[in-house]
Amino acid sequence: MDFSLNGRSILVTGGTGSFGQAFVRLLVEHHNPSRVLVYSRDELKQFEMARNLNHPAVEFMIGDVRDAERVRRAVRGIDLVVHAAALKQVPTAEQNPMETIKTNVLGAENIVNACLDSDVSRVIVLSTDKAVNPVNLYGATKLCSDKLFVAANMLAGPGGTKFSVVRYGNVIGSRGSVIPFFKERAKTGKLPITDKRMTRFWITLDQGVTFVARCLGIMEGGEIFIPKLPSMKMVDLARAMGPDCEIEIIGIRPGEKLDEVMVPRDEARNTLEFPDFYIIQPDFLNGTRTKASYGGAELRHVSEGFEYRSDTNEVWMTVEDFKHIVS
């Protein structure tokens, strides 16, 4: 029988963020959860979200993932946890390293411990392509978070809480992304690009929340789920956002990469390929899971030395594709 979100009590940390709000809306519009608890620090965002959503199953709780006791209280009676709370801005993380570590690493550990102690059924955490071969603190903290959640499956033991990770690229439509920045700068007639060669993976907010819900249904514990996404050159993104603007090359900023990787070469030996996504299996499984583990879905092991990179991707988003998405 397929796993269902209907009748479940679900906690969403960072629930007033772009992803959190979209995911909660998906839950109440397309599923029938018994309870959805939105956990976040911002009372104004909670007030506005409650006013706009106004659904009887949705509850709100002020709290910080840094606060272990508050997190323990939040997970009581919860079946599923979607952990989306994080400090995500690369420059902010570089300038405030300990604050980022407290939220992204110690906060992740608080979620793990609370879920283990409360016998939560399934936990899934949002990660980023920047966690692969990280060159900035944000990516390094998300790599630590990924490791904490994968290893938590060994603490849970057979039949215990399942923990998995979803890793994807830049989100079209999220707050704090480059797109609203470009929209504002386009009014000046100039758009800054760090390097003409730079590429990124792109996913829409709707695709992201749908993929997370799907992974909640098929996860067995310990996986890193990676959707197959199109790449786009940042210079093409600028042309799409401001076709009449001058492109200004400003140089790569500290902590920035030319390209992003979602499946590194060293993890190819543990990577399964499905028609529209990849799964990196944890080392402690020794690659023992097969298609039977995921409902008989068609899959194959990727070749030795495989990498999933934004610059060598087989699928590319054109300027017209992007305009169609954001129109």
Active site residues: 130
Sign of CA dihedral 63, 4, 1, 301: negative
Please return the burial class of 66, using the count of CB atoms within 10 Å of its CB with bins 0-12, 13-18 and 19+. Answer: middle
Bridge partner list, 225: 166, 279
CB contact at 8 A, 81 and 121: no
Distance CA 242, CA 186 (A): 6
Residue type, 148: L
Residue type, 26: L
CB contact at 8 A, 178 and 86: no
Q: Closest by alpha carbon to 38, among 8, 22, 23, 60?
A: 60
